[in-house]
Each structure stands twice: as structure tokens, then as C-alpha cells.
Amino acid sequence: MGAILDKPLYSFIVNPKIKTPSDLKGKRVGVTRIGSTPDALARAMLKMWNLDPATDVTIVQLNELGLMVQGLVSGVIDAAPISIPSNIRAKNLGYTELFDMTKIGKTYITGTVVTRKRFIDGQRDTAKRFMRAFLEGMKTYLEDEDFSIKVIQKPICFRRRTCCAYRVPRSTVSRRSSKAWKNSPAQKPPTRDASSIRQFSMNWKKKDS
């Protein structure tokens, strides 16, 4: 139905001794599990740097995202794709962001909203109202940073603003709709800025009235 972003919110974090991608040769790269998102992203990055994931590095499975930073600190791994907010923690500990993966140049849907097609067909009004609220929430997030950070801080008990203020460029925010909506002119995916979210929501309201 929709997604928050079309870029991976990950950083490729490395031991500060690693200065360039070529320095990764012979090193240990941490992932959660083979076939997981971090594994897929790590392999994509290595191939982008002309490194063979099977022979040029050792892939180490750490099972949990929460263990990535611990793996760097303990020396079990030398590098890993790490998502927010753990990538911020790693950088605060002195580890280096070798690459900001939001700039990978490939579409990677993050924070998806999914449902069964039969739900859309059978309860279309509910689905539309949910997506309208979803889009209005994204609009608020993009336009009111202070309010958004307060909302994020409350349930996850973060007191440090930097952990909640990690923001990607507005151009990365995905507005893609499910194929189930594609035949309706009022439900075409809007362009990528906050004003387009507002217009998308207004179109739905007009259609419902």
C-alpha cells in the first residue's frame, strides 16, 4: 500500500583503521543472518566496490541487529551495515561511516505498509482512510521536526535529540502506492515533497465527500 522511504536507512560502518573500500579485503563483515536485509545490503555494497563477498571478505552472522555495534567493539567484526539509531551510536564510539547507504542510488523500500488485496477490495474505505492518515502523518514528520522528535522520544525513551533527529533528505521519501490503486486518477503516487502529500490527502477527501 505504501512505504516511508525508498532508500535503506543504513550506514556501512567500519573500524577506523579502514579508510577505503579496498581496505575491506580480508576483513570480517557482520550481518544478522545469511539472506537477511543486512546481508543483502552488505553484498550489494561489496559488489559495488568490486569485492567478491564469497572470497574477498568473511561474512560473520551475529543473529541480531543489536549485536552489530557490540561486534565492532569486541573485534569480532571489522565492518557491518548498521541501521539507525545504532549507526549513530557506532559513530559516537569512534567508528567510521564508510558509506551512507541512503545514497546507494538504488530503490529499496523501507517501512512498508502491506495488506491482503481482499482487504482492499472488501474494505476499501477503511484502507483509504488508513492511508490518508499515514500520509498526513508523513507530512507532519517532514514539516514539523520538533513535534516529530517529541513523539519519537516518548515511546522509545530516548533523551538525546541526535538519536531521534536522524533525517534523510525529503527527496528520499517514498510515495508509492500499491498496484491496487493504480487505476484511480485520485490515487496516483504523488511527487516527492511535503506539499504533494497534502495534495494526495486532499484528493482522497474530495473523492470521499
Residue 69's CB is within 10 A of a number of other CB atoms, namely 23
**Residues 204 and 150 grouped into a single domain:** yes
pLDDT digits (tens, 9 = 90+) for 19-29: 999 999 999 99
Q: Which of 82, 103, 124 is the endpoint of a domain?
A: 103
Please indicate, yes or no, if residue 62 is contained in any of the structural domains. yes
**Residues 67 and 131 grouped into a single domain:** no
**Residues 89 and 119 grouped into a single domain:** no
Please indicate, yes or no, if residue 172 is contained in any of the structural domains. yes
Q: Are 51 and 25 within 8 A, CB to CB?
A: yes
pTM for the model stands at 0.65
Q: Could you give the CA distance from residue 167 to residue 145 in angstroms, rounded to a whole number?
A: 9
Please indicate, yes or no, if residue 54 is contained in any of the structural domains. yes
Nearest to 66 by CA among 79, 83, 91: 83
> Any idea what the CATH number is for the domain that residue 90 is in?
3.40.190.10
Total domains present in the chain: 2
Give the whole-number percent of the chain exceeding pLDDT 70.
74
Instruction: Give the total residue count for the chain.
Output: 209
Please indicate, yes or no, if residue 1 is contained in any of the structural domains. no
pLDDT digits (tens, 9 = 90+) for 85-108: 899 999 999 999 999 998 887 788
Please indicate, yes or no, if residue 108 is contained in any of the structural domains. no
Where is 88: in which H helix or E strand?
A: helix 86-92
Please indicate, yes or no, if residue 109 is contained in any of the structural domains. no
Please indicate, yes or no, if residue 3 is contained in any of the structural domains. no
**Residues 120 and 204 grouped into a single domain:** yes
Domain that holds residue 192: 115-208
